[in-house]
Amino acid sequence: MADTVSSVASGMVVALQANYLEVELDAAPDGCPVRLLCTRRTRLSHRGEAVYVGDRVCVEAIDPGQGRAVVADVEPRHSFLIRPPVANVSLVAVVLAVEQPSFDPDQASRFLLTAERTGLEVILLLTKTDLISAAALESLVARLQGWGYDPLVLSSEAGTGIDALRQRLAGAQLSVLCGPSGVGKSSLLNQLRPDLQLRTAAVSGRLQRGRHTTRHVELFPLGLSARVADTPGFNRPDLPDDPQELGVLFPELRQQLDPWPCRFRDCLHRGEPGCGVSSDWERYALYKAALIELSGLSRPFRGG
Ligand SMILES: Nc1nc2c(ncn2[C@@H]2O[C@H](COP(=O)(O)OP(=O)(O)OP(=O)(O)O)[C@@H](O)[C@H]2O)c(=O)[nH]1
Ligand SMILES: [Mg+2]
Ligand SMILES: [Zn+2]
């Protein structure tokens, strides 16, 4: 009889809860479930190797009866979203509500900057568009276009934009829905895959904040070859540590560097000689405020 307990297989981490990883096998051995509940080999922790949703892993000590195994190794990642942590992402979808909770440009930018740090394609999903007038929506869309994004206009309530979203996500191997709590990330997934019946909860309080309903990152298949990650919302992503890294995370700043690269490579675009970046864009104030925040953390500024 084959010793299935010692067999080895490869797969992908599809969910993470406390100390357990759920791994979906590429090909399950006979009589073994496709999804296994796994712990990590202690030597992985000793080497300081964390394992995240989206990671490709090798599992061993498979116990088909119990549906358990142990993650022994993690393959190198081709991309990584820092927060929420997801490995091997191909598309980052930043989800923002027009209301409930209301649109906050500083918060929105922090999510977009975090997404841009992956170097991957970033899209912006505007949700709950049933809650504002057509004119207000039009002006918000125009504003976001000025930030370099062409937002997808959505409403899970009215069913607006769901087919367009499905098409967009189906073209990416692994996309992540990330954004503040209560903006309707899980609601969007329920629209795309009604069978999922993910838990959602009404926003509450004076600020109409979300209630942190989704607790774990989890991947769900969409169509034949795509997966989408639902993630727990949070309120204030950190800025990158390095002021030099900040500018290129703003698409509307990046666009200005293309025709007019700055004279100095370490230019921070605050009116330095030969700088190719103008001050005539909406988020310039936000960019400068972020630089000041970062300089408090790292090194002092020269000049003003
Ligand atoms: N009016 C309106 N309400 C919506 C829409 N989409 C979601 N909601 C409501 O917004 C609330 C929050 O939705 P969720 O899907 O739980 O939000 P989430 O982003 O997953 O929140 P977390 O899991 O906490 O991060 C729920 O009461 C939804 O019914 C929408 O398009 N229009
Ligand atoms: Mg949710
Ligand atoms: Zn410059």
Which CATH fold would you assign to the domain 4-74? OB fold (Dihydrolipoamide Acetyltransferase, E2P) (2.40.50)
pLDDT tier for residue 49 given thresholds of 50, 70 and 90? confident
Q: Which CATH architecture has domain 243-297?
A: Orthogonal Bundle (1.10)
Q: From the alpha carbon of 199, which atom of ligand 1 is closest? A: 16
Q: From the alpha carbon of 95, which atom of ligand 1 is closest? A: 19
Ligand index nearest the alpha carbon of residue 203: 1
20-25 vs 35-40, strand pairing mode: antiparallel
Residue 301 has pLDDT above 50, yes or no: no
**Location of each CATH 3.40.50.300 domain in the chain:** 80-230
3-state secondary structure of 236: coil
Q: How far is CA 57 from CA 18, 40, 41, 290, in A?
A: 18, 10, 12, 37
DSSP, residue by residue, 187-226? HHHHHH-GGG-------BTTTTB------S-EEEEETTTE
Nearest CA to ligand 1 atom 12: 182
Ligand index nearest the alpha carbon of residue 244: 3
Contact (Cβ atoms closer than 8 angstroms) between residue 103 and residue 129: no
CA 145 – CA 122 distance, rounded (Å): 13
**What's the CA-to-centroid distance between 149 and ligand 1, angstroms?**
22
Which CATH fold would you assign to the domain 80-230? Rossmann fold (3.40.50)
Contact (Cβ atoms closer than 8 angstroms) between residue 39 and residue 20: yes
Nearest CA to ligand 1 atom 2: 128
Residue 30 pLDDT = 85
Residue 237 is given by DSSP the state P
Q: How far is CA 27 from CA 6, 24, 34, 99, in A?
A: 16, 9, 7, 44
**What's the CA-to-centroid distance between 21 and ligand 2, angstroms?**
19
**What's the CA-to-centroid distance between 213 and ligand 2, angstroms?**
5
pLDDT, average across residues 290-297: 83
pLDDT tier for residue 303 given thresholds of 50, 70 and 90? very low
Residue 16 is given by DSSP the state E
CA 251 – CA 36 distance, rounded (Å): 41
Ligand 1 contact, 212 CB (< 6 A):
yes
Residue 193 has pLDDT above 70, yes or no: yes
Residue in 103, 156, 211 to alter for ligand 1 test, most ligand atoms within 8 A of Cβ:
156
State the distance between the two ends of the chain, measured CA to CA, in whole angstroms. Answer: 75
Model's pTM, two decimal places? 0.94
Ligand 1 contact, 130 CB (< 6 A):
yes
Beta bridge partners of 21: 16, 38
Residue 259 pLDDT = 82
Q: From the alpha carbon of 200, which atom of ligand 1 is closest? A: 16
**What's the CA-to-centroid distance between 188 and ligand 2, angstroms?**
9
Least confident range of 116-120, 159-163, 292-296: 292-296
Ligand 1 contact, 187 CB (< 6 A):
yes
**Tokens linked to 162:** 């769901």
pLDDT, average across residues 150-167: 98
**Location of each CATH 2.40.50.140 domain in the chain:** 4-74
3-state secondary structure of 243: helix
CA 139 – CA 233 distance, rounded (Å): 26
User: The tokens 């980052």 sit on which residue?
Assistant: 92
**Location of each CATH 1.10.40 domain in the chain:** 243-297
Share of the chain above pLDDT 70, in %: 95
Write the pLDDT tens digit of every residue in 269-283.
999 999 999 999 999
